[in-house]
Structure 1
Amino acid sequence: MRGGKRCPARAPWHEIFWSLLGSFIGILAVYLIGHQQDLRLEDSLFLVGSFGASAVLLYGIPTSPYAQPRNLVGGHVISALIGVGCATVFSDYPAIGAAVAVSLSLALMHLTRTVHPPGGATAMIAVIGGDTIHALGYWYVLTPIALGATLMLLVAILINNLSPHRRYPQYWF
């Protein structure tokens, strides 16, 4: 409980710049796809909260194993599938459904080597996301989740490889 290590040094300015640029463009791109469907910002299903956490990984620490393409897309898709299933099975018990969804998602991400921490939120959003999310059913897996994650991946490939100090992805499979 004492720790024993010191806080790491601050990231260099060039890393902060590329992180800021990538996350801005990635989240804005996801919003613009939803905007094309004439959705108000607060109704935009493409701005799923878990994408904010994905942006931190993809653009802030792109060398992390959790930020790699198989983890990003696989983790979100697996978690969305489980989340929708749990929303259906536990529709009368959302707290239990959310707990089961997050737990099963984590276990399956481990089994498939696709752990992406924001996937837990993706699963939970499918359960507690409200009527608009529930009305999507398994379409939630394709749009916003798979489409949004893929769009963020494309931005990550572009932005992270524009920097002379970054290489992304580290691996695909």
Structure 2
Amino acid sequence: MKESRLLKAVISAVGAALCIWTLAAVDHSFSGNWLLMAPFGATMVLIFGVHHSPLAQPKNVVFGHLITAAVGLLFVNTLAVTPLTLGIAVGFGLFLMLLLDVPHPPAGGNPLLLMMGGHHDWMFLLHPVLLGSVATVILATCYHRLIPGHIYPYKMEEPKL
């Protein structure tokens, strides 16, 4: 049965709200940034709103965020933050995501977040980036399994030769 636009919007919004709420509640309980960072808000649009998209799949979410956060940390720890280095960092993050076939648009903001926010600690890759992106994928997987007809992660069919 095809979902109406209204039903799809409600299902997507509830999933995104529950996911962010859960991540934020964990952070609040442990008094720190363990699972949540701003770019995950945009990740919600993909994994709940267009969960069939290749850009929303778990490997893209996790590795896209990890790669671009590592780029941001590399830049902020080695170069002055300037308009030029901000641009190069975002471009380099995109280059690596495309090269490794894990593009995830919300991850493009990670170098900006890290560089403009003055984050220098490499532990940021563990938490919130890795722990948060993995938790997000797990929560999205569980949520979509509760919705009849939803499949996440979504496996793209390989073209037959």
CA distance in 2, matches of 1:121, 1:61: 19
Within a 5 Å distance, the mapping from 1:25-44 to structure 2 comes to: 25-39=18-32, 44=33
For the aligned residues, what is the CA RMSD?
1.9
1:39-78 deviation per Cα after TM superposition (whole angstroms, max 9, x unaligned):
4xxxx57432111000110111101111000100010001
Q: How many residues align?
A: 154
Instruction: Find the residue that maps to 2:30 and give its secondary structure.
Output: coil
Unaligned runs of 5+ in 1: 1-10
Number of the residue aligned with 2:5: 12
Counting only pairs closer than 5 Å after superposition, residues 127-138 of structure 1 correspond to structure 2 as 127-130=115-118, 133-134=119-120, 137-138=121-122
Contact in 1 for aligned 2:52/2:152 (Cα 8 Å): yes
Report the CA distance between 1:151 and its aligned residue.
Answer: 0.9
The answer on 1:66 being equivalent to 2:55 is yes
Deviations 1:12-34 (A, max 9, x none): 22211210111011111111221
> 1:18–1:159: 8 Å Cα contact kept in structure 2?
no
Aligned residues of 2:81 and 2:115 also touching (Cα < 8 A): no
Determine whether 1:159 maps to 2:143.
Answer: yes
Cα distance in 1 between the residues matched to 2:83 and 2:20 = 29
Match of 2:123, as an amino acid? W
C-alpha deviation, 1:95, in angstroms: 2.5
Residue pairs, 1:83-122, within 5 angstroms: 83-90=72-79, 92-122=80-110
Query: Where do 5+ consecutive residues of structure 2 fail to align?
Result: 157-161
Q: What is the identity percentage for the equivalent residue pairs of Structure 1 and Structure 2?
A: 29
1:86–1:100 CA contact under 8 A, matched in 2:
no
The answer to whether structure 1 residue 82 and structure 2 residue 82 are counterparts is no
TM-score with structure 2 setting the length: 0.88
Structure 2 residue identity aligned to 1:38: S
TM-score for both structures, normalised by structure 1 = 0.82
SS at match of 1:36: helix
Q: What is the rounded CA distance, in whole Å, between the counterparts of 2:123 and 2:21 in structure 1?
A: 22
Q: Confirm or deny: 8 A CA contact 1:66 1:115 kept in the other structure.
A: yes
